[in-house]
Each structure stands twice: as C-alpha cells, then as structure tokens.
C-alpha cells in the first residue's frame, strides 16, 4: 500500500477527500485504489435518502447522523447536488446545515455534482461509496432529490431506501404512485408540525396496502426533523429493515445485484465516453453531412461507428 492507501484505510479524512476527488475526475486513479483495497469493503451499511425538493432530506440526514455517531458509529454522507434549476439553490444550504457535523472526527460529508458527468453520476457515486466503505464507515448516507431516473438509479445503490415526503404534496404523491413508490422501503412524512400530515400518512398507508405482493411492508414514520422528533423511531425502522434483509437473505441478493450494476455501469461509461469522443471528431461531421445529403442512411453510419469503436478501443 502506498501512503494514500494506508491513510485511507485508517479513515483519514484528507485521504478520503482525495480519493473521492479521483472518483469524480480521474477515474483511473480511483480504480487503482479500489482494485487494491476491494477486499476491505463490504462492511458499510448504505442508506439512501430521497424525495421531492425541500421536504427536509438534509435536515433529516443531519439528525440521523448525529443519532448514529452518539452510538459510536463512523458515518459517511454523499449529498448529490441537483442539476435542476429549481433546486440548485439548496447546494449552499446543504453545506451550511451540515457544517458543524463535518467537523466531527467520525463524520465525513461530501457533496458531489451532477454536472460534468456524461451519464457517469452513478458510476462516481458507486466509487465514492466504495471508498467510504474501505475507509471504515459503518454507515454511508446518499442523499438525492428523487426527481429523475439518474437519481432513482443512484438510490438503488442503497441497502435501505428512505423516501421522504411532506404534507401538502398532493401532486408528488401522485408522481410517487406512478412508479417511484416502488423504491421506498421506509416512508417518512416529515414536517409533521404542518397541517395535513395525518392525511398524508393515511393516504400513503392506503397505497402501500394495495401492494400485498411484497414480504416487507414499508412502514410510514412521522417526523419533525428540525425539532429532532421521530428520529429514534426512524432509526428503529431502518434497523428493522436491515434485520429483515439479513433474515430473508435479501441483503445478499441486493448486494449482488448492486455489484452487477457497478460493473455494468463502469463498462457502459467507458463505451459512452468512446462514443462521445468519436462524435466530436471531424470525420463524424463529414459523414453526418453525407447522411443529411442522403448519400448514406443513418443506420449504416451507426453500424460503421459501432464497428469502429469496438475494433479500436476494446
């Protein structure tokens, strides 16, 4: 092991920061680290915190982390900064709210951007999660705004997915009905100090009762994150879900599935990069013009490109 790797294994924060920066910008360097230290990973429990913008995900994460460090745990947090212009303002907020926590010796917090990744966001998150795992974290939190497919993909990295909602989000509950519902293993109605929280809880429970095909019925927990209310109950549910996963053998299945995705994502990214490199070249534009002029058809061109990429780069 080199110096960086030794420090990383000991959980040194600067080493973690450096390694995650590699994961974001210099994939090969991050890969080198993971290749060497892979055997040391696998002990972190990964919790995804997702939900619509502004429902209190960061506040809730902050309280969960405080609760778990008091129990003697080491915690890593990855907050995915949304690209959406509607939620872009929260980036600074996240940092401010979690600032005091990041000074704690057993907590490492990192924001990761969604910009600049050509479909590589989940790959970067896989790597960062693995690095935190190697660094000895007991729990890794991944906070994403549950609005798009890439966020949903990311949250699938988690062992337990906590879907956070707030009262008065009628439309969001509709959206959740339409598919996102699938990914929540624990539902939280935060901002329970607000009117309508009981109604939201009832609605959620009704929806969840409709699906009797699963052997884990997601519980619904009420919280008031900024008053630290309901946090113990939520932690209990997270632990209960973990117990369920272990007892049913589903934790292993889930993690195997995750490994499969981690590998596929990595290859997919490499391919994507090759494609993007290719289409930035001059001869691409030249050939494109031929398609425009109907000298060749788009599918012949696509086949040629495909052959080109595979022969040269793989």
Ligand X SMILES: Nc1nc2c(ncn2[C@@H]2O[C@H](COP(=O)(O)OP(=O)(O)OP(=O)(O)O)[C@@H](O)[C@H]2O)c(=O)[nH]1
Q: Which of ligand X, Mg ion, none does residue 54 bind (CB under 5 to 8 Å by kind)?
A: ligand X
Q: What is the residue whose two structure tokens read 């040391």? A: 40
For residue 205, the minimal CB distance to ligand X (Å) is: 20
Nearer of residues 15 and 112 to ligand X, judged by Cβ? 112
For residue 78, the minimal CB distance to Mg ion (Å) is: 12
Nearer of residues 144 and 269 to ligand X, judged by Cβ? 144
For residue 163, the minimal CB distance to Mg ion (Å) is: 14
Q: What is the Cα–Cα distance from 68 to 45, expressed in whole angstroms?
A: 12
Q: Which of Mg ion, ligand X, none does residue 145 bind (CB under 5 to 8 Å by kind)?
A: ligand X
Q: By CB under 6 A, name the binding residues for ligand X.
A: 53-59, 87, 90, 93-94, 145, 190-191, 193-194, 224-226
Q: Which of ligand X, Mg ion, none does residue 11 bind (CB under 5 to 8 Å by kind)?
A: none
Nearer of residues 31 and 113 to Mg ion, judged by Cβ? 113
For residue 112, the minimal CB distance to Mg ion (Å) is: 13
Q: Which of Mg ion, ligand X, none does residue 191 bind (CB under 5 to 8 Å by kind)?
A: ligand X
CA angle 37, 42, 46 (to 5 degrees): 125
Q: What is the Cα–Cα distance from 131 to 145, expressed in whole angstroms?
A: 22
Nearer of residues 50 and 129 to ligand X, judged by Cβ? 50
For residue 157, the minimal CB distance to ligand X (Å) is: 18
Nearer of residues 32 and 193 to ligand X, judged by Cβ? 193
Residue nearest to ligand X (CB): 90
For residue 157, the minimal CB distance to Mg ion (Å) is: 17
Q: Which of Mg ion, ligand X, none does residue 220 bind (CB under 5 to 8 Å by kind)?
A: none
For residue 237, the minimal CB distance to Mg ion (Å) is: 21
Nearer of residues 55 and 127 to Mg ion, judged by Cβ? 55
Nearer of residues 97 and 254 to ligand X, judged by Cβ? 97
Q: Which of ligand X, Mg ion, none does residue 190 bind (CB under 5 to 8 Å by kind)?
A: ligand X
Q: Which of Mg ion, ligand X, none does residue 226 bind (CB under 5 to 8 Å by kind)?
A: ligand X
Q: By CB under 5 A, name the binding residues for Mg ion.
A: 57-58, 94
DSSP string, the chain: --HHHHHHHTT-HHHHHHHHHHHHH-HHHHHHHHHHHGGG-S--EEEEEEESTTSSHHHHHHHHHHHHHHTT--EEEEEEPP--TTTTTHHHHHHHHHHHHHTSTTEEEEEE-STT-SS-HHHHHHHHHHHHHHTT-SEEEEEEETTSHHHHHHHTT-SEEEEEE-TT-HHHHHHHHTTGGGG-SEEEE--TTSTTHHHHHHHHHHHHHH--S-SS---EEE-BGGGTBSHHHHHHHHHHHHHHHHHHTHHHHHHHHHHHHHHHHHHHHHHHHHHHHHHTSHHHHHHHHHHHTTSS-HHHHHHHHHHHHHHHH-
Minimal CA–CA distance to 107: which of 128, 67, 77, 81? 77
């Amino acid at each position: 092991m080199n110096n960086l790797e030794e420090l990383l294994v000991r959980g040194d924060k600067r080493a973690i920061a450096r390694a995650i920066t590699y994961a974001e910008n210099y994939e090969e360097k991050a890969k080198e680290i993971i290749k060497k230290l892979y055997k040391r990973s696998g002990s972190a429990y990964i919790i995804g915190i997702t939900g619509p913008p502004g429902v209190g995900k960061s506040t809730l994460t902050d309280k969960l982390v405080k609760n778990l460090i008091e129990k003697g745990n080491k915690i890593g947090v990855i907050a995915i900064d949304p690209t959406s212009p509607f939620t872009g303002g929260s980036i600074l907020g996240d940092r401010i709210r979690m600032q005091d926590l990041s000074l704690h010796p057993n907590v490492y917090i990192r924001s990761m951007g969604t910009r600049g990744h050509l479909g590589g966001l989940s790959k970067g998150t896989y790597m960062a999660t693995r690095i935190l795992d190697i660094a000895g974290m007991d729990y890794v939190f991944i906070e994403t705004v549950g609005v798009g497919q890439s966020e949903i993909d990311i949250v699938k990295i988690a062992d337990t997915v906590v879907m956070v909602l707030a009262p008065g989000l009628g439309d969001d509950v509709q959206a959740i009905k339409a598919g996102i519902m699938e990914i929540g293993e624990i539902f939280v109605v935060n901002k329970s100090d607000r009117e309508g929280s009981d109604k939201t809880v009832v609605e959620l429970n009704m929806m969840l009762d409709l699906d009797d095909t699963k052997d884990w019925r997601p519980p619904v927990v009420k919280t008031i994150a900024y008053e630290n209310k309901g946090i113990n109950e939520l932690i209990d549910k997270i632990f209960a879900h973990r117990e369920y996963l272990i007892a049913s053998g589903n934790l292993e299945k889930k993690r195997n599935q995750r490994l499969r995705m981690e590998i596929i994502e990595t290859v997919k990214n490499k391919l994507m990069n090759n494609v993007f490199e290719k289409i930035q070249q001059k001869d691409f534009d030249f050939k494109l013009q031929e398609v425009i002029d109907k000298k060749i058809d788009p599918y012949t061109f696509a086949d040629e490109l495909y052959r080109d990429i595979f022969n040269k780069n793989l």
